[in-house]
Amino acid sequence: MRIMDVLTDSREEPVSDLEPAVELSRAARVRVLLAAALGPLVTGYAAVATVLTLVTLTADRAVFSGTGVLLAAGPGWLAAHQVRLDLGGHPIGVLPLLPTLGALALAARTASGAAQRLGCRSPREALPVFVTITGAHAVFGLVIALGAQGSPVSANPLLAFVVPGLLAAVAAGTGIAWCCGLPDVVADRLDPLALRGVRAGAMAFAVLVACGAAVFTVATALSWKTVADIYEPAFGTSFGLFLLSLLYLPNAVAAGLSFVTGPGFSIGDLNVGMFGYRGGAVPGVPLLGGLPEHHSAWWPALLVLPAATGALVGWSLRKVDADPAQRIRTVAVAGVVVALGCVVLGTLAGGRLGDGPFDPVSVPVGVASIVAFCWVVIPGSFVAFFTGEHEPPAPPPEALEENEAFEDADDVDAEEAAEAVEEIEASEEDEEEQPGEEPDDDTELSRESSTTEDAELSRESSAEPDEAVTGGTETCGDVEPDEADR
């Protein structure tokens, strides 16, 4: 029986992960915040050191040094957080985007987990987590930059403090917002049409990135012989080139996106665009083995990809509102989201590459964002306008005034007609009842009695017609003619 009671009690008690039964102590909260601050830093630094260790171990005629790898991992961590480095007096600003995406994901996941362990219900309660992660990244970047002063690879301390802190703030804010349900709260307060436009814009940007990745993949596959010739027979050199190409793969996809939309990209003297081409030297990296050697006349046919993306946005927004103007406004919001995405991606993908013939690597951010906006808005507005519902056009103000005048006249006519009908009915009632004379009670009684007597006489006459006739005949037979005449 005691076992059954225990089981019953355990089933009756509600269990909730979001509402801990015991509130965390101050020491426990400090431990959670400390883990949130140091976790991404240690993990990211260890990942960079691991990559450098693999490159050193597989490279030919390279001497492995644990201390050297740990020291070199500091500038590598800064590069992963998009802090421009100075390599022997030559600026290196074209930094790989793949480690940056990994660092952002790690910070966001850490912030979300810490907020859940602390039982945070709102972003305000999770503010200590946000400040801790942001401050830890900023301070760690500053420490690395100060420690690298005077070495062959250095960084600006101010940039090393600001850029990692800014990226960590974006990642931590995203993780906390997702954990605390902030997107739902913001969605409830935003205009529903604007929210639909933001979602459609995010979808369109993802489609454009996929188009850029597809174009890059096809170009690399068609130039596979050139790509294979870049690899050297040595395993160490080949592994290093492969790893370098993998880290810079998102940068190549961003360049492919800019090429698909029209503006193109440039590497030093090389300029590749949809409607123009200027040759130049390129680095010997397998990632760039698919670059064309001359312009092709069929390249403009690729513009069907961004046009189809804009049409897809218009088709997805064709039912958001019955008013075509509102649908076009929603498409414009989607175009703004795509333009902002192109600005961010293009800014991170390019930069300085030393002072040699390959400097700089750039994507025309301004032109690319404007062109991407037009590719979404123009086809999207066309499709959304003609494939959705249409409300009847609003009449001009003059027509509205005339309609109001007609309605007033109709109301006046109806009132006059109703008054006329009432007057006619009243006159008919006056004629029937002779207004001004009220009938006496005696008159009514006499009328009723006379009516009753007439009805009885009529009944008697109709009931015995034969007897009256017979009696009259007999009487007339007994009376003398003179009396009968009288």
pLDDT in tens, 102-125: 999 999 999 999 999 998 888 888
Compute how many other C-beta atoms are within 10 angstroms of the C-beta atom of residue 28.
13
Q: Compare 260 and 191 and report the one with higher pLDDT.
A: 260
pLDDT of residue 392: 57
pLDDT at 32: 94
337: pLDDT strictly greater than 70: yes
Beta strands in 262-360 (DSSP E): 265-267, 270-272, 277-278
Contacts of 237 (CB under 8 A, 6+ apart): 59, 60, 231
Sorting pLDDT into bands at 50, 70 and 90, what band is 66? Answer: confident
**Model pLDDT for residues 370-381, shown as the tens digit of each residue:** 999 999 999 999
Q: What is the mean predicted confidence (pLDDT) over 152-167?
A: 95
How far the first Cα of the chain sits from its last, in Å, is 130
CA 255 to chain centre: 26
Q: Which residues contact 219 (CB under 8 A, 6 or more apart)?
A: 256, 290, 291, 292
The residue-averaged pLDDT of 146-166 equals: 93
pLDDT of residue 150: 86
Among 290, 288, 287, CA closest to 218: 290
Higher pLDDT, 395 or 373: 373
Q: pLDDT value at position 391?
A: 63
Is residue 75 within 8 A of residue 155, CB to CB? The reply is yes
Tokens of 151: 């070495």
What's the token pair of residue 263? 């503006």
Burial label, 75 (beta-carbon count in 10 A; 0-12, 13-18, 19+): buried
Please compute the mean of the pLDDT values over residues 314-341 and round it to a whole number: 94
- The reported pLDDT for the residue numbered 108 is 95
Cα(350)–Cα(254) distance, integer angstroms: 9
- Decide which of 226 and 11 is more confident: 226
Report which of residues 470 and 192 the model is more confident about: 192
pLDDT at residue number 405: 52
**Among residues 67, 93, 57, 56, which one has the least CA distance to residue 78?**
93
Residue 14 has a pLDDT of 37
Residue found under tokens 């590459």? 353
List Cβ neighbours of 177 (8 Å cut-off, separation of 6 or more): 123, 183
d(CA 372, CA 338): 7
Q: What is the mean pLDDT of residues 170-175?
A: 93
| Predicted confidence (pLDDT) at residue 205 exceeds the cutoff of 50 | yes
The more confident residue out of 405 and 13 is 405
pLDDT at 2: 40
Confidence band for 481, pLDDT divided at 50, 70 and 90: very low
Q: What is the mean pLDDT of residues 393-412?
A: 53
What is the side-by-side strand order in the sheet with 85-87? 90-92, 85-87, 153-155
> 360: cis peptide before it, omega within 30°?
yes
What mean pLDDT, rounded, does the chain reach?
81
Mean pLDDT of 45-60: 88
Higher-confidence residue of 454 and 43: namely 43
Which position has the token pair 């830093």?
A: 41
pLDDT at 457 over 90: no
Sign of CA dihedral 377, 344, 360, 54: negative
Please report the pLDDT score of residue 187 as a whole number: 72
Among residues 316, 244, 257, which one has the least CA distance to residue 287? Answer: 244
pLDDT in the model for residue 117: 92
Mean pLDDT calculated for residue range 52-65: 80
Question: How many angstroms separate the CA atoms of 264 and 269, rounded?
Answer: 13
Residue type present at position 237: T
The encoded tokens of residue 387 equal: 């494939």
What is the reported pLDDT for 415?
61
Say whether pLDDT at 254 is over 90.
Answer: yes
The pLDDT-based confidence of 459 (bands split at 50, 70, 90) is low
The predicted structure's pLDDT at residue 414: 59
